[in-house]
Structure 1
């Protein structure tokens, strides 16, 4: 043992598995790490290591590790465990810090290489998982010997910000969580919010809360506030009086025609930007016009009558009200001692508040508009507001400007619900956010006075899924119900073929059979990617990327994948599971790649397909190959044997016993006309 440990932990190799792989049933990140001199130093021999680690990542206290109970990993740290294992748990804990619920991991030594370990851990977002692995290794080295350039707080903040940049917004994530709970597969199509739900012909797409069912015409209408108001007015729905203008002079004339007080807002704005409320005279209108004009893409501004009341957002999904929230503008309440500035800082210190959409609430922004609004209420930011005095910091109740939401879903008057549903149908949106201004949503809006002031395409879900006050509404359910009605299929059948020899021929034969049954078959093989008998790409396409290409094709209703050992070792399968796995044979070819040096190891790689068979699936296995025969133990579904052995052989006896228990097999039987292929199913 060396005198003192040195920070030698290094990453030798990084792999990202995007589907089932040799280490895990699900996607995972694989780091090959070298401990160097640290191989001689388990955690209990490094002074202060465990205490400092737990202080930096307190979530590690929850890790059960192999003990199967809370605190199991801390026990392992105190008893002494190797630092590669620590890096695995740190990578998981870092992802949990940013809200990614990943718990799967394992660390195993590399055979024949002392101090070199395979570190495997799950991930939700690929870039976040890779960043977590790198930061975990740096943290372990820092705890072994302090690095003056490593500041933990800064590193953690940078990691959290990176995760927030690539993370789905709260609306997209809510839909995906619901889809996953129903076993609907999904594929991220870009680095933003464009996601495919389902496979092949069953695929639907979402981008935030717009879906592949959302009408482009409806989105255009909703983005034109003037046209929206005219259509709603023609349907007899309550809307404010309004006029469109392109200059400050026109705005003043329109305001005088409508009657003060008025509202000035951009024709095609969003998130409440550029909206100026409660304008009492000509000077107010002239000052508001450039603010609204700046936020209008077309340079057109709307002047409309001011509707007094509370701000309500009605969320309509597939023609029905799914949730209603009252939106309260950003404000603080005086306590008689703290200044308004200090009250804002206190409000922003709430752990629920963050930047943008990262948390359930957004931090209150103090800009020129907020300072001016405070002045209009008779205060400066440095003044102390009287106890109980509410000081507004924004006029609109948008969550993105620091507002809060109160759930009112079950309090709305039925007549108001009907008005909101009719408005969404009038515009034609499948998912719409109807903005109501009225004194009280529990009373009929036509009697109390009030109006629909705006209709939004792609409305945010955050105020409904995470209201500040009230019960959260599970609004992702009706969205997924709309895209995949109860009983609808989201997956296409997948047949995966592997083996050392004969994969391409077998894949072609299976494709030909199903083409004859009227299926639109997508096939990948070493020849290329074939969609419905048309060769799209001529190359070796037996890897996971080609498989994902087929699953994204909207014409395919049946998939046949030739799966080579290289793709499994490099990226995993590229999909979650296959309905049928066909394993032809395992021969000692192509050894010496990525640590696969024996035919038994090669069989373990091929067996990934068998492990990816669900309970209602099938594994078609070669009973004549002893390595393939062993794979039956890894199959959750049913095994179908095929054999060239003659009756009376040991293999045929095993198959006969399998069929007596109700199993299936294909065998060769001698007859007067030569050998016959016989299908055996149970006693038949």
Structure 2
């Protein structure tokens, strides 16, 4: 029997293989309870139920003693132990371990089920309840790793664990795994106000789900949705404004509502940004998660060096950075009031037009002489500032501030079209396509912005 706190050394071909991972945040095919589903291929371990693994049950109970209280199909404490002694499959064991690891971390979960997949011998859907999605997923990964490491060395091998959740541990060890889960649960646990509202919702059979790690909670579904954050509710516009200021959360909610939105990943290091860009596909957009006025936003980043540069630009404005799929098209702002579109404007990024004599720097100075331009939002238009982003952006087109564009040649100065970075707006209310108008109205209604 292998000690899970000692590196097992060279591993044979994987016998346990994670094939799919899904998170159910509301009622679903298998249960009304929110659950994680891990589709697990046992491989050759289909031939090894627990009664054919000498010492496995005792070693598992030593590391997770709370499993002795699991009733399983017997409905009373000791039921799971009896099942394992009689012989049950490892997917079923992993289900119970994932549940118990969450309880050891401080959660209160109990429901789970494991079912074989039709016409796929040795493949099982391992499902278990969770309180917090991130804690549940990591507990699922640790459950798989613990089961694997307790197997005889010749049967060990786990593939696809990263599909469940990334692990902060370089090497799995049960004490460290519990420390990580407990710290995670403690950090994101509900405060007393939110917790009391959630408990009351459960008492009234009102479905709820957590939307982020800052206690933003959704009550109900569809047209009955209400959202709370501590004692603040969506009966005011405060929560809607907070959601709209979080670009990643807004995108996620819009996608869940079936509305078009770019895929994106929140990163906190340049290495993560490069990996996210590769996964999403170049070119990408990089922006601060909670920025505004176009600060730190860059588009069309199509190489590793540009992604690295874009990350540093965004991180100067936020500790979290969003790497996002790029949609090609114009930049528009749409105003929805009372569920109806009332105005639309096309935004044009800051630009100058060559006269064959002046440098780009001189052309910018002339543009800023327009009396309508001022600093910040004190005037109808904003002065164009020469900064690192501008210099870098024009360099991508082969220009410097000393370049002299040919007569009539427009030079785009910045990647974003915000008025606060020198852009201009053109009214297009009468030109907007009805489909785009409908999407805008639905987005505003779903986020409760109107």
Q: TM-score range by the shorter chain?
A: 0.3 to 0.5
TM-score with structure 2 length normalisation? 0.47
Is the radius of gyration larger for structure 1 or structure 2?
Answer: 1
